[in-house]
Amino acid sequence: MDTLIIAAGVAIVLMLVYVAWLLTRLARGQGEGAGVGELAALREAERAKAIELSALHVRLSERDADLAAGAETIARLAQERDEAQERAERMGTSALELAASLRARETELGDVRQRLDAEREELTRLRAELVQLRERSAQLDANLAHAEQAKAEIKGFLETAQSKLSATFAELAGKTFEERGAQFENNVRNATQQSKSDIETLLKPFAEQLNVFRHRVDTVYGEEAKERAALAGAVNELKTLNQDMAEQASALTRALKGSAKVRGDWGELMLESVLRGSGLEEGTHFDRQTSSEDDEGRRLRPDVVVRLPGDRRIVVDSKVNLIDWQQAMNAETPEAHEDALRRHSVALRQHMKDLAEKNYPKAVGDSALEVTVAFVPIEGALSAALGTDASLQTDAFARGIVFASPNTLMAVLRVIERLWTRDKVQREAIEISKTGGLLLDALQNFLAEFDLVGRKLTDAHTAFTDARSKLSESRHAVIPRAKRLVELGVKGKKALSAELEPDEPILPLVLERSGSDD
């Protein structure tokens, strides 16, 4: 814009110089007597320059207007810039406040993430344990199915073998007893009687083992039926147990107000009721008040040691202090209630530390699982403590302690009882398999002896046939000669058999005496 103004000024100056030069020439022309034509030309040129100068003024006016508009635009942009700077300053202050709030939120989020990671790890561990239990259960189911299949196959094989043996024996006996000859019949009868006696003697252990096998099979079926009935009544038993727990709530109040021994006895009583409802047997599946010593020589006496298949054990302790929980239940104000619950959670945490320090599993031996179950006889007491102290259960896990309510402990004991049942079924299946193997061996021996009897009967029949052939069909056969003697009139004291009956009339036997004609 400044360049155009300068150019316009220069053009005006040049125009004025040119006009002055023309005027000078005009004056000189007049002095020298120049013609009118040259003056007219000069005037025409002057008019043209004037027009051009007017146009230039118009253009300058337009440029001035543009400059004014540009100045307004610049002012407006400057104002907008100032407003933008003010907004930026306000936004900077808000950004600082937002950053501080964001940092606080990130700190809270980190804590939540840590708790979430801990919960996820615990969930992963529980899921892994559940998968192991399911795999163990599936393996036991498969073993039971294999045992039942083997039992069915053995039963079918025995039935088929019995039918085949009966048919074979009947067929062989029929063929044998259809042979002619009294002596052969007597020999066969004697041999059959002897074989029957031998077979009965041989089959007697087989029959006894078969009866034992059937008894074991019936026992297994009966135990499975009892197990199904027990599982069907598990829910009712749990309901009854919960009702018993409710009925003992009043006894709880009295026990909590009593001495430490009374509270301990009450906890053991509640634990005993759970054990009794789980189906486990004392002395077989669990032991109470077993004594052991730790490395420092201290005498330890856990309340209950539960046995697991595979010679493993788990310790259950019921000595827990619930005085603060009872005070929380009887609190008259929310503040007193919350304060009592905090004391209750602190008491459970201290109890957890005491159990971890005693280290019952190490005192029990290598067969014990590295965990101690801290039995809390009231569901609400455990829930209240865990709700007040969220990290209580996690810290207990880290120290090898597991808090268990009656329902939780009942579920664990039910699983253990199921494992014992599966273990018993598996052992019975193995015993059935061994017995089946013995039965098969005995049956194989019987079949071998029976084949020997058949071969002996066949040999006897062959010997009988050969003897008959020698008596009647050989060159020196006795029967034809005897028949000839009968035909000639020879008689014995006994009646003749059908085979010695003569084919021709009997001729009178005439004996010539010497000297009869004298």
Residue-by-residue pLDDT tens, the chain, 518 positions: 556 566 666 666 666 666 666 666 655 555 544 445 655 665 666 676 667 666 666 666 676 676 677 677 777 777 877 787 787 777 777 777 777 777 877 787 777 778 778 778 877 777 777 777 677 667 666 666 665 665 666 566 556 655 554 454 445 444 444 444 555 456 555 655 555 565 556 556 656 665 666 666 566 656 666 665 665 565 566 556 555 555 555 455 554 544 555 566 677 788 888 888 888 888 888 888 777 776 677 778 888 889 888 888 899 988 878 888 888 888 888 898 999 989 999 999 999 999 888 888 888 887 788 889 999 888 888 888 888 888 998 999 999 999 998 888 898 889 888 889 888 888 888 888 788 778 778 778 877 877 888 888 888 888 878 777 776 776 667 677 777 777 777 766 666 666 666 666 555 544 444 444 43
Do 265 and 373 belong together in one domain?
yes
The pLDDT of residue 134 is 72
**Domain termination residue (choose one: 82, 107, 140):** 140
Diameter of the chain measured on Cα atoms? 244
* Burial profile 331-360: b = 16 or more Cβ within 10 angstroms, e = fewer: eeeeeebeebbebbbebbbebbeebbebbb
The alpha carbon of residue 98 and the mean position of all alpha carbons in its chain are separated, in whole angstroms, by 49
Do 192 and 225 belong together in one domain?
yes
Residue 508 is given by DSSP the state: P
The pLDDT of residue 283 is 84
The pLDDT of residue 422 is 87
Around Cβ 420, how many Cβ atoms within 10 Å?
18
In a domain, 240, yes or no: no
Please count the structural domains in the chain.
3
In a domain, 508, yes or no: no
**CA 53, CA 55: separation in Å to the nearest integer?**
5
CA angle 304, 307, 308 (to 5 degrees): 140
Element (H, E) at 272: helix 260-278
In a domain, 483, yes or no: no
Around Cβ 417, how many Cβ atoms within 10 Å?
20
Do 118 and 179 belong together in one domain?
no
The pLDDT of residue 373 is 92
Do 302 and 365 belong together in one domain?
yes
The pLDDT of residue 25 is 61
The pLDDT of residue 349 is 92
Do 154 and 135 belong together in one domain?
no
The pLDDT of residue 510 is 45
In a domain, 151, yes or no: yes
The pLDDT of residue 93 is 72
**CA 518, CA 515: separation in Å to the nearest integer?**
6
Do 207 and 300 belong together in one domain?
no
Do 385 and 273 belong together in one domain?
yes
From the list 374, 379, 386, the residue with the least C-alpha distance to 242 is 379
Do 344 and 367 belong together in one domain?
yes
**Domain termination residue (choose one: 83, 105, 140):** 140
Residue ranges making up the domain that contains 136: 2-140
In a domain, 18, yes or no: yes
Do 133 and 153 belong together in one domain?
no
In a domain, 135, yes or no: yes
Phi-psi bin for 291: left (phi > 0), alpha (psi -120 to 50), beta?
beta
In a domain, 19, yes or no: yes
Do 399 and 366 belong together in one domain?
yes
**CA 293, CA 224: separation in Å to the nearest integer?**
40
In a domain, 518, yes or no: no
Do 127 and 158 belong together in one domain?
no
Phi-psi bin for 400: left (phi > 0), alpha (psi -120 to 50), beta?
left
The pLDDT of residue 343 is 92
Contact (Cβ atoms closer than 8 angstroms) between residue 491 and residue 502: no
Q: Which residues have CB under 8 Å from 284's CB, separation 6+?
A: 307
Report residue 26 as tokens.
Answer: 């005009």
**Domain termination residue (choose one: 93, 112, 140):** 140
The alpha carbon of residue 251 and the mean position of all alpha carbons in its chain are separated, in whole angstroms, by 40
β-strands 304-308, 312-317 pairing:
antiparallel
Do 273 and 306 belong together in one domain?
yes
